[in-house]
Chains A and B, each alone.
Chain A
Amino acid sequence: DGGITQSPKYLFRKEGQNVTLSCEQNLNHDAMYWYRQDPGQGLRLIYYSQIVNDFQKGDIAEGYSVSREKKESFPLTVTSAQKNPTAFYLCASKEQDINYGYTFGSGTRLTVV
């Protein structure tokens, strides 16, 4: 079955460490997105990529980095520069130029310990 796989489901990070969240899709979608979800704040866009080897900053990109070397993969790195990284992270994808809704992964819960 086609879909988006996010791993790991739970991730713990020590302060000062970088961690990478995985997002893989087999839907052949061109566009991929990373969102952060905090209680009471809804979803906020971190980064998005509309095509391989290209990506754009979203609303809260500071302290995060991404890469898009393959169409299927869009990993998110949470760097030590992100001062408050504890949150739920959702990855999504969409076919380019088709205005259907996004397909979402099941998310990664990141906690700083």
Chain B
Amino acid sequence: AQTVTQSQPEMSVQEAETVTLSCTYDTSESDYYLFWYKQPPSRQMILVIRQEAYKQQNATENRFSVNFQKAAKSFSLKISDSQLGDAAMYFCAYRRTKGGNNRKLIWGLGTSLAVNP
């Protein structure tokens, strides 16, 4: 069974600095998708970034980028120039592309990020 592990329950960063959140996953599949979601205090889940496993190039979205290491099954999120609005819970998620349950997301337990002014 696939699993997603976020080893950092809490992280903090100074405003304008860079922070990296870790995520590892376990799967025997070769084709899948990985996601980072942000859950601010409003508790609405917001998609931050998405990575297709067949793509070698790391995804980027403005200040957010990932370091996707397929062989190591690692998918870390880097936030550059951190802003106060980045303070939130961040979840890593995995979804396989094949099989009857391919629409099921597997979630990590989250990392709570604090941004200090």
Residues of chain A whose beta carbon lies under 8 Å from any beta carbon of chain B: 31, 40-43, 45, 48, 50, 58, 88, 90, 92, 94, 99-107
Residues of B within 8 A of A41 (CB): 109
Residues of B within 8 A of A102 (CB): 45, 47, 105
Residues of A within 8 A of B45 (CB): 90, 92, 102, 104
With A101-B47, A105-B44, A107-B44 as contacts: A42 and B37 at CB distance below 8 Å? no
Would you call the interface of chain A mostly helix, strand, loop, or mixed? strand
Q: Can you pick out 9 interface pairs between chain A and chain B where the beta carbons lie within 8 Å of each other?
A: A43-B91, A45-B104, A48-B103, A88-B43, A92-B45, A99-B33, A100-B50, A104-B45, A106-B44
In whole angstroms, how far apart are the Cα atoms of A40 and B107 in the complex?
12
Residues of A within 8 A of B105 (CB): 43, 45, 102
Residues of chain B whose beta carbon lies under 8 Å from any beta carbon of chain A: 33, 35, 37, 42-47, 50, 52, 91, 95, 97, 103-105, 107-110
In whole angstroms, how far apart are the Cα atoms of A48 and B35 in the complex?
19
Residues of A within 8 A of B108 (CB): 42
Residues of A within 8 A of B42 (CB): 106
Within 8 Å by CB of B97, from A31, A90, A94, A99, lies A99
In whole angstroms, how far apart are the Cα atoms of A41 and B105 in the complex?
14
Residues of A within 8 A of B91 (CB): 42-43
Q: Given contacts A48-B103, A106-B44, could you give 8 more A-B pairs where the C-beta distance is less than 8 Å?
A: A42-B107, A43-B105, A88-B43, A92-B45, A94-B103, A99-B97, A100-B47, A106-B42
Residues of B within 8 A of A101 (CB): 35, 37, 47, 50
Residue on B nearest A101 in the bound complex, by CB:
B47
Residues of B within 8 A of A94 (CB): 103
Residue on A nearest B44 in the bound complex, by CB:
A106
Residue on A nearest B48 in the bound complex, by CB:
A101
Residues of B within 8 A of A107 (CB): 43-44
